[in-house]
Structure 1
Amino acid sequence: MAERIKSLLEYDIPDTATELLSSIVRPPITAQSFELKPQFIQFISNDLFAGTPHECPVSHIDGFLEKCDAIKLDSVTDDAIRLRLFPFSLRDRAKEWLRDEGIGSFDTWDKLAKAFLVRFLGQEKTARLRNELATFRQFDDESLYEAWRRFKRLQRQCPHHGILEWMLIQTFYNGLTHEFRIYIDAASGGSLMTKNPTEAKELIEKMAANDNYHPGGRHSVKKAGKLDVDALTLLTSSVQALTSKFDRLQARTSTSSPETCQMCNVQGHIAPNFPKNSSEMSIKEATAFYTSNPKMPYDPHSNTYNEGWRNHPDFSYMNTQAQLNSPSPPPSFQARESFNHQPMNQQLPPQTSKYNLDSIMETFTTS
């Protein structure tokens, strides 16, 4: 029978046999009746793999095989079940990868699993997992059980790490804290290094299981917290707080204004440092001394009534015997009279003001 020739329009329409476009070649089924029930598909779809960096492709393959082993059908091979169900365990990037691998790329489960691991494990992720295994370190808040479980999880995520068994045991032992190494050495009867790899691994397994038997780990380090502070730590923090308060108080005292002298009320010195000789006091200090003591009865700078003025020789109008004998009034009296005859808007000559100030200071220093 001659083959029908397609029209040009038919060449633009894709073939409806979509099974020919799949990258998976499904093995034929020889059984008389075969059906993948919806509950089987739902069972596989409960744990989907998206292909993100934090997902482990090895764990996904392992979980998928466990589920497929629970499905057994007469006259149906394992590859036929796995190749038909595996696409239902993928989504997003992983689903797109399977479709883009090419038509008929995988006709066996081994080929599909190997290509899947190569794509989503890769050299970069393998190198990172190998480095984590070679530089394994126990965390400060991690128990022996938790550290051992994490170490085995790294091996499971990278089963092709290529590290020998004795190197793995030695790496784990060296990565433990000092306290846990002493604990393991004591349990081994001296040193773990004296045992062979099998004996050492069995001992660590037993000790890790025993450490997990006690809630929280018997030898785990407690995490720091407000409720997990011992007496010594509490005392130390209290002493540090008191020291800090004392330092702040001392800093405020040192930066405050200088002390005021109790004798002259002048800042900058205290009473024991007050100059005992009147000749040592400057005019500025004397002025400040009398300005800060307004209640002294003989204060020449007072703005109110001063009892000392009536006995002052330059401000007295009394006709003393010395004034009667003198041919002319004292210079201060002349200056006072000339001052009374000047206009109000004129100031006292500089010589008169200087003379009065010198007289006042001479009287002050004498007293």
Structure 2
Amino acid sequence: MAVEPDNDPEIGSLNAHLNSEPSQAIVITPAQQSIDIKTNVSVVIPHFYGRKIEFPYEFLHEFCKLCSVQKRAPNSTEEDYRLRALPFALKGEANTWLLRLPANSISTWADFRLLFLDYFFPSNKTNTIKKKILACRQDYDESLSQYWSHFKGLLDSCPKNWMCEEKVYNIFYEGANPESKDLLNSSNGGISQRNV
């Protein structure tokens, strides 16, 4: 005989969430509840989908920049606003990731940032970009300013590259073509060559 779906414990557990609100990863404080996300804000808020071509650090920067200029209730902070607006900014895989986090696992912006970057910008991605930085070379037809822009773009895509400023300049200088090295040396009185 077939078991009726309503009496099947496995099917019943699949429907358990229908009787109550789904659990939330973000702990909602009274200060956050007093924040009203306006419709016009939800339209301009930066979105993050969790795609490989997206830059998590850039998203966080743009998101924080937008949240910092929003009006808030007197008893709330910028961090409260960020956490309240966050579910509106995450879409696709990123939203699924947030929904799958354990209940009440995010109580501060630092908690979110740590979990978010650990998932969407893991250490292997950092290592890949660091290798690109180390291997960066100026093309023969690339101007010094174009080379700097290209190099700076790699650095910006990986803010936590753990390279000291001296090493960054050394890598940049070593990747420059001979003409650019001469230009750098002459503009600094030979300082670049001696420090490298």
Scaled by the length of structure 2, the TM-score of the pair is: 0.84
Q: Which residue of 1 aligns with 2:68?
A: 69
Residues of 1 paired with 2:17 and 2:136: CA distance? 55
Worse-matched range after superposition: 175-184 or 137-146: 137-146
The CA distance in 2 between the partners of 1:164 and 1:90, in whole Å, is 33
Higher fraction of helix: 2
Taking the TM superposition and a 5 Å limit, the aligned residue runs for 1:278-357 are: none
CA distance in 2 between partners of 1:38 and 1:179 (Å):
54
Per-residue CA shift, 1:268-320, capped at 9, x if unaligned?
Answer: xxxxxxxxxxxxxxxxxxxxxxxxxxxxxxxxxxxxxxxxxxxxxxxxxxxxx
Residue of structure 1 equivalent to 2:170: 170
- Root-mean-square deviation (CA, aligned residues, Å) is 2.4
Higher relative contact order (CA 8 A, sep 6+): 2
- What SS class does the counterpart of residue 35 from structure 1 fall into? coil
Measured after TM superposition, the shift of residue 114 of structure 1 is 1.0
After the TM superposition, list the runs of 4 or more consecutive aligned residues in structure 1 that deviate by more than 6 angstroms.
none
Match of 1:14 in 2: 17
1:85: how far off? 0.7
Residue 28 of structure 1 is aligned with which of 27, 30, 44?
A: 30
When residues 22 and 126 of structure 1 are mapped into structure 2, their CA distance, relative to the original with a 3 A threshold, is: same
2:56 paired residue number: 57
Count of residue pairs the alignment pairs up: 184
Give me the identity figure in percent: 27
Q: How does 1:1-367 map to 2 (within 5 A)?
A: 13-14=16-17, 16-18=19-21, 21-29=23-31, 34-44=35-45, 47-73=46-72, 74-194=74-194
- Distance in 2, matches of 1:49 and 1:166, equals 33
1:2-54 alpha-carbon deviations (Å, 9 max, x no partner): xxxxxx8x996536542x511111221289x642211121121xx32111112
**C-alpha spacing 1:88/1:34, structure 2 compared with 1 (3 Å):** closer
Aligned match of 2:3: none
TM-score when normalising by structure 1 = 0.46
Q: CA deviation at 1:83?
A: 0.8
List runs of 5+ in structure 2 lacking aligned partners.
Answer: 1-6
Corresponding residue number in structure 1 for 2:4 = none
Residues 27 and 104, structure 2, Cα contact 8 Å, conserved in 1 = yes
Give the superposition deviation at 1:64. 0.5
CA offset digits 1:161-211 (Å, max 9, x no partner): 11111111011011011111111112122352336x9xxxxxxxxxxxxxx
